[in-house]
Amino acid sequence: MTQDTSGPRPVPTLEMVAALAGVSRATVSRVVNDSPSVDPEMAQSVRKAILALDYTPNRAARSLAKRRANAVTLIVPESTSKVFADPFFASVVQGIALYLTDTEYTLNMVISSESKPEKTRSFLLGGNVDGVLVVSHHSGDNSWTHLSGSLPMVFAGRPLVGGKESYYVDVANEQAAYDVTRLLTESGRKNVATIAGPQDMPPGLDRLAGWRTAVREAGLGESLVEEGDFTLASGAQAMRRLLDRGVPLDAVFAANDQMAAGAYTAIQGRGLRIPEDIAVVGFDDDSFATSVTPALTTVHHPIVELGKKMAETLVKLIEGKPAERVTRMPTSIVIRDSV
C-alpha cells in the first residue's frame, strides 16, 4: 500500500519566499513593505516567488511593525435616512473607495456620530484607525472636535472649527454661487430668491454669501431668502414659503439640487411654469438635476474627485508625506432648460 500524502497545502511563509527567491528574509520583508532600497532585479525575483507560492503578507504583523491599523474612518454626522437619500454622500464614498483600492487601507464609516459622541471618540482613539475623513460637518458637531492633534484628519469642505490648521478639500462655494446667480440676473430676472442651505454648515454659509453679492451687484433686493436643510422636502417647503409671501418672484437659486427639485414641486404645484414664470438653478449636478423636467441648470461639483483627493491627502498625512493643507476643486456651470 502506498501512503496517501495528499492534504492541505502548507501556508506559504516569508522564509519560503526567501528560499525560492534566493535572498534573505529581510530582503523579502523590505519588498513586501515597498522599500525603495532593494535592487530592482532582486525585488522582481521576490515578487515572482510571491506569485509562485501564492504568498499573502501577514497584514496584522505589518501593521504592528508600522504601528498602523491600515484603516481609515469616514465620519458623517447626519441621520442614516439623510445619508442614503442624498447622492452627494454616495459620490464621496465612491471617490474615497476608488483611491483606497490601490492602498493597504480599508474604509469604515460612522453615521450619526453626534448621537453618541463619546462612543465615536472612544472608537477613533482606540487604535482602530489611522486617520479620519469628515463629511457634512455642522458647527455644533463635537465627536471629532480636538482629535486632529491625535489623528490625521481631512475635511470635505472648509471646517468651521480649527480652520487655520485643518486639512480640507473644497470647491469655491461662494464664487460658484455668485456665478450661477449672475446667470439669472444677467438674463433679465429682477426678483431672484434663494433657498439657502443650513447656516451652521460652511456650504450653506458660503453659497448664501455668493447669492447676496450677486443680487447686490445687480441692484436687487436681498430679502427673498428661505432656509432648507439640503433635503428634497425642505426645498419644497422653503419654496412654498417664498411663494406665500405674495411678492414678485421670477427666479430662485437653490443651494443644492435636491432642494431645487423640491422647489420644482412647489412651483409646478401652483400652476407656474419653469422657466417661463420662475427660473431655477441649483448646485451639485447630481442625479436630481437630470431627473426633473425641465432639466436643471446647476453648478457641477466634482464630488467623486473630491472624495479621491480627500483620501489621497489623508494617506499622505498618515505616512508622513507632504500634503496640501487646502485643495480647491474646480467647478463649472451646466446649462440646461430651467433658465
Nearest partner of 85 among 329, 257, 226, 254, judged by Cα: 257
Predicted confidence at residue 58, as pLDDT, reads: 57
Predicted confidence at residue 101, as pLDDT, reads: 94
Predicted confidence at residue 242, as pLDDT, reads: 98
Q: CA 34 to CA 31: how far, in whole Å?
A: 5
Cα-based angle 321, 323, 327 (whole degrees, multiple of 5) = 165
Predicted confidence at residue 1, as pLDDT, reads: 41
Lowest-pLDDT choice from 27-36, 107-116, 226-235, 273-282 = 27-36
Under the banding of pLDDT at 50, 70 and 90, the label for residue 184 is very high
Rg (CA), the chain: 26
Under the banding of pLDDT at 50, 70 and 90, the label for residue 142 is low
Q: Reading across the β-sheet that carries 167-171, which strands appear in turn?
A: 106-111, 71-76, 131-134, 153-156, 167-171, 326-329
For the chain, what's the residue count? 339
Mean pLDDT, rounded, for 57-67: 53
Under the banding of pLDDT at 50, 70 and 90, the label for residue 64 is very low
Mean pLDDT, rounded, for 302-325: 96
Mean pLDDT, rounded, for 263-285: 98
Give the residue with greater pLDDT, 256 vs 150.
256
Predicted confidence at residue 258, as pLDDT, reads: 97
Domains, the chain: 14-57 (1.10.260.40), 71-170+303-329 (3.40.50.2300), 173-302 (3.40.50.2300)
At residue 4, does pLDDT exceed 70? no
At residue 265, does pLDDT exceed 50? yes
Mean pLDDT value across the chain:
89
Q: Where are the alpha helices (DSSP H) in the chain?
A: 14-21, 25-32, 40-53, 59-66, 80-85, 87-100, 117-124, 173-186, 202-217, 232-244, 257-269, 287-291, 303-318
